[in-house]
Structure 1
Amino acid sequence: MISLNTILDILKADHNFREIALNGHYTLTYDQNPSFQKLSYDSREVDKDTLFFAKGASFKKAFLEDAIQKGLAFYISQVDYEVGIPAILVNDIKQAMSLIAMEFYGHPQNQLKLLGITGTKGKTTAAYFAYHILKQSHKPALLSTMNTTLDGIHFTKSKLTTPESLDLFAMMAQAVQNGMTHLIMEVSSQAYLVKRVYGLTFDVGVFLNISPDHIGPIEHPTFEDYFYHKRQLLNHSRYVVANQNMQHANLILEQIKDLPHALYGSHLNNSITNSQAFSCHFTGQLEGDYDLELIGHFNQENALAAGLACLQLGASLTDIYQGIKDTRVPGRMEVLTQSNGAKVFVDYAHNKDSVEKLIEVVKTHQTGKIILILGSTGNKGESRRKDFGELLNHYPDLEVILTTDDPNFEDPRAIAEEIASYIERPVHIEVDRELAIKTALEGTQKVSDAVIIAGKGADAYQIVNGERTPYPGDLAVAKAYLD
């Protein structure tokens, strides 16, 4: 429950209160202090005890009018829609949502150790490493791009990398109620761009890497804007773990120079010194030999980053060793073997940098024919299409099948053709993703051959026309066609 006076105090302290617009015949005297039992930004889920947040560029006055029919008596907004009930007017609805949700749910963030992880790639893998490390001796909750668990037992598919603030603090409160001690979160650039984590401070923030991505009309206008919003995690963390070898590391190092921090990178004492698959050696704070199920130097880096973060959060070296060994991520660097001995690599790689690293890992293990299945998303990350084409020009021996990958409101064939337009050799286009996978597997002959399936991983859906439509997932499809 939260009272109107408390809401006004929060907004005024944040310099975000304009006025209460009293509409129609409604009157509100200074001795009145109504309370709200529920917060919502969905006009379909309101009643007389709800404080409703009218947010979003696509919000319509009709949504409020429908909500009033359900008993809605108050709303908070940047716009006075003049619908006959009071409007608490603010300058920034997203800031208001986050701070009011914190108070409404009893500041659950203060009862959890918070680990925030950002980077262009590797967030989910690093989050899973951290989850398996912390679960050795603690009770961590997890909010990742892939799965969410608030009790360590039940896992649900996530809709957003970082949930909307009302949902985020409700989830935190549930985790506290479930007896969780830590919360591991992937923190996207969008989370800061649209203020889903406004006012939140992380105990540890991890910055894995940065490369151009998520640049487009509905995301970030430029790489500078994308990188700026990624770096906001550093400004809101008490302790930072950062990759000193990443691109633009000088900006990161300058930003965290006065913060407690740990750095990792190949030329540092606490670096990975062995790039052999399934084993590595860390020196420095995490001195020792470690076993991993996930191949690739970049996954060893993800493990190291998670280990350094968890060390700060109370994990022992024994916890870190065992947690790294236990970590498996559905759809991340999954390796299957066909009856002819050829390998199938399934991974979520979905931008130039991650696809390049995936190709390089496979080429260190497989020396024969390599067939790559690749697509690009619709209505976001448009720059990836040119990036993919230019990347594949550096691998002229790679056979390429372009296919569908969350086309949304765009034509998947048109997306594939756009990628192909940047490739300086013929490629095959098969928009039916399942058929593309079947075709690729049938194209292998020898133990040294390989198929790389990039993009969807274990996601059991395709985003088409704004909706998640059923799809078995790359891993499931590949397993079905193994023989």
Structure 2
Amino acid sequence: MKLTDLLVKLDYECLQGSLKREVKGVVFDSRKVVKDSLFVCMPGAVVDGHKFAKGAAEKGASVLVVEKAVDVPADITVIKVKNSRYALALISAAWFGNPSGSLTTIGITGTKGKTTTTYMVRSILENAGYKVGLIGTIETIIADEVIPSENTTPESYLVQEYFKRMADAGCDCVVMEVSSQALKMDRVAGVIFDYGIFTNIEPDHIGPGEHENFAEYLACKRKLLSQCKVGIVNRDDEHYDLMIQGHTCKLETYGFHKDANLRAISPRLVKTPGYLGIAYTVEGLMHFSVEIDVPGKFSIYNSLTAIAICRHFQVSEQNIIDALKKAKVKGRMEMVRVSDDFTLMIDYAHNSMSLESLLSSLREYQPHRIVCLFGCGGNRDRDRRFEMGEISGNMADLTIITSDNPRKEDPQAIIEDIKTGIHKTKGRYVEISDRKKAIAYAIHHGEPGDIIVLAGKGHEDYQIIGTTKHHMDERELIADILQEDKNN
């Protein structure tokens, strides 16, 4: 591909070399450089990609895209840009033929609800006959291919590659999670989403390597509403007015708020042995009743968001009702049937905010007891351990402290930190470091009417000990425990 075709949408300066180049590959990892490729030097939190410029040239890269001058042979073309991450996004889009133009694009941002909402949207649209690609925290789905995710939103080159593969596979549309980090680091730069969705925002992802403060976090989220044609926003969010500042899109709203374009009314809890759900009525732009097999008020928000999106695809009310009834998301309020006496579920809640939201939602079902099993990750913010311990101690009737991903820390030291938080409360707890044994304890000590939550792992099917990922899927652990009980 001609270099000038790759740079067509960029402001740049050619520091040296010729623009009359034929580029045979675009890379941002110097280990993947091939002859006559274009290498983008990006500054990182740990390593500056400019350090690899000379090595990339020696491996055969004929074009370097940089933010600052680099020392390479004179025959290498060096293109200087203001922001190389932004440049990578636009160059990648051009390299793959601007594939987002062949898809109806749906981008969802927010502190909570992104993952569940994407799966609900996919369920509704596929139930209505659309072929839908998905990019998110758990996985990327392209037709029948499933690719496990490393980031909520991949690097821009991968985003564009996935769009291209989706278009080639005959997908009509793509629904994707757009994280604040993705917006901050220009991973979706150059994409004008057909629909940009804001679910909610709360203080989170603030600290070293993420966002400097809440104002910056909000500013990054807000970028999506300047990068879409139709913005669909949660009218109930307390930061609604701040979120929509400077938006350039047509705006629609949803929520319980009387001024929302699409509203939820008359919510009611649904509870049967081993099952929890919620039902409500939709009014405003659409009118019908819906029931979801996922408990909690936030399930209303997630499904209402999906409805607000899918109504633009002329999906029938019955299609929406049927699809929402079947929609399931691995590790998000995922109920696993082990007994008719009590309910057991797996959820990804892995910080204080998500755990508090989860437990408060479950308390509304007036269970006999809430039993909360969780651990905390090693080599992460210690305050999270104290906070989660205190929340579980205050909100659960029994806490089972166990191990999560200890990484390079002593699992017992992490447990002691969690206990420090619990000791601020009057909450009862037991500690069982081995996660399988902890789950077995929860199942064997379940009482009629209990809700047992296995929190923190969610969709993850591994445990990180040291620097090694060991396979560990809680669904398999539960199945093993039940089989062992049966054999005994």
TM-score band by shorter chain is 0.7 to 0.9
Tell me what 2:273 maps to. Answer: none
**Alignment CA distance shift 1:246-1:98 (3 Å):** same
Tell me what 2:4 maps to. Answer: 5
8 Å CA contact retained: 1:116, 1:205: yes
Q: Work out which of the residue numbers 41, 49, 52 in structure 2 matches 1:54.
A: 41
8 Å CA contact retained: 1:38, 1:50: yes
8 Å CA contact retained: 1:372, 1:454: yes
Q: CA deviation at 1:121?
A: 1.3
Between 291-300 and 103-112, report the one with greater CA deviation.
291-300
**Alignment CA distance shift 1:125-1:8 (3 Å):** closer
Give the letter aligned to residue 452 of structure 2. V
Please give the secondary structure, in 1, of the residue aligned with 2:453.
strand
**Alignment CA distance shift 1:439-1:67 (3 Å):** farther
> What CA deviation, in whole Å up to 9, does each residue of 1:215-256 have, x standing for no partner?
221111222222221222122121122222223223235555
**Alignment CA distance shift 1:413-1:69 (3 Å):** farther
Please give the secondary structure, in 1, of the residue aligned with 2:269.
coil
> 1:78-89 to 2 correspondence within 5 Å?
78-84=67-73, 85-89=76-80
Question: How far apart in 2 are the matches of 1:105 and 1:356?
Answer: 43
Q: Work out which of the residue numbers 125, 138, 148 in structure 1 matches 2:130.
A: 138
Give the letter aligned to residue 477 of structure 2. V
Q: Work out which of the residue numbers 17, 23, 41 in structure 2 matches 1:36.
A: 23
> 1:278-427 to 2 correspondence within 5 Å?
278=277, 279-339=279-339, 341-365=341-365, 367-379=367-379, 384-395=384-395, 398-408=397-407, 410-423=409-422, 424-425=424-425, 427=429
Q: CA deviation at 1:263?
A: 2.4
**Relative contact order, CA 8 A, sep 6+: which one is greater?**
1
8 Å CA contact retained: 1:18, 1:91: no
Tell me what 1:24 maps to. Answer: none
**Alignment CA distance shift 1:68-1:258 (3 Å):** closer
8 Å CA contact retained: 2:225, 2:249: no
**Alignment CA distance shift 1:299-1:59 (3 Å):** same
8 Å CA contact retained: 2:197, 2:232: yes
Q: CA deviation at 1:352?
A: 2.8
Question: How far apart in 1 are the matches of 2:217 and 2:232?
Answer: 20
Q: Work out which of the residue numbers 200, 213, 218 in structure 2 matches 1:222.
A: 213
TM-score of the aligned structures, taking structure 2 as reference length? 0.87
Question: How far apart in 1 are the matches of 2:231 and 2:327?
Answer: 23
Please give the secondary structure, in 2, of the residue aligned with 1:329.
coil
1:112 aligns with 2:127: no
Give the letter aligned to residue 326 of structure 1. K
Q: CA deviation at 1:141?
A: 0.6
Q: CA deviation at 1:160?
A: 1.0
Please give the secondary structure, in 2, of the residue aligned with 1:96.
helix
8 Å CA contact retained: 2:30, 2:39: yes
Q: CA deviation at 1:88?
A: 2.0
Tell me what 1:19 maps to. Answer: 14
Give the letter aligned to residue 281 of structure 1. T
> What CA deviation, in whole Å up to 9, does each residue of 1:392-422 have, x standing for no partner?
3532x52223333344555544444334323
1:236 aligns with 2:223: no
**Alignment CA distance shift 1:340-1:174 (3 Å):** closer
**Alignment CA distance shift 1:71-1:254 (3 Å):** closer
Tell me what 2:274 maps to. Answer: none
**Alignment CA distance shift 1:435-1:218 (3 Å):** farther
Q: CA deviation at 1:97?
A: 0.3
1:97 aligns with 2:91: no
Question: How far apart in 1 are the matches of 2:464 and 2:217?
Answer: 23
TM-score of the aligned structures, taking structure 1 as reference length? 0.88
Runs of 4+ off more than 6 Å? none
**Alignment CA distance shift 1:225-1:253 (3 Å):** closer
8 Å CA contact retained: 1:331, 1:458: yes
Q: CA deviation at 1:479?
A: 3.1
Tell me what 1:458 maps to. Answer: 459
Q: CA deviation at 1:303?
A: 0.7
Tell me what 1:158 maps to. Answer: 149
Q: CA deviation at 1:55?
A: 1.9
Question: How far apart in 1 are the matches of 2:168 and 2:352?
Answer: 41
> What CA deviation, in whole Å up to 9, does each residue of 1:238-290 have, x standing for no partner?
11222222232232355559733132225456214223233332222231122
Q: Work out which of the residue numbers 137, 140, 151 in structure 2 matches 1:148.
A: 140
8 Å CA contact retained: 1:385, 1:418: yes
Please give the secondary structure, in 1, of the residue aligned with 2:328.
coil
Tell me what 2:62 maps to. Answer: 73
8 Å CA contact retained: 2:41, 2:65: yes
8 Å CA contact retained: 2:142, 2:165: yes
Give the letter aligned to residue 204 of structure 1. Y
User: What is the CA RMSD across the aligned residues, in angstroms?
Assistant: 2.6
8 Å CA contact retained: 1:114, 1:203: yes
Between 447-456 and 57-66, report the one with greater CA deviation.
57-66
Question: How far apart in 2 are the matches of 1:258 and 1:162?
Answer: 22
8 Å CA contact retained: 1:407, 1:464: yes
Tell me what 1:471 maps to. Answer: 471
Give the letter aligned to residue 133 of structure 1. I
Question: How far apart in 2 are the matches of 1:248 and 1:229?
Answer: 14
8 Å CA contact retained: 2:264, 2:280: no
Please give the secondary structure, in 1, of the residue aligned with 2:281.
strand
Question: How far apart in 2 are the matches of 1:265 and 1:405?
Answer: 36
Question: How far apart in 2 are the matches of 1:81 and 1:340?
Answer: 67
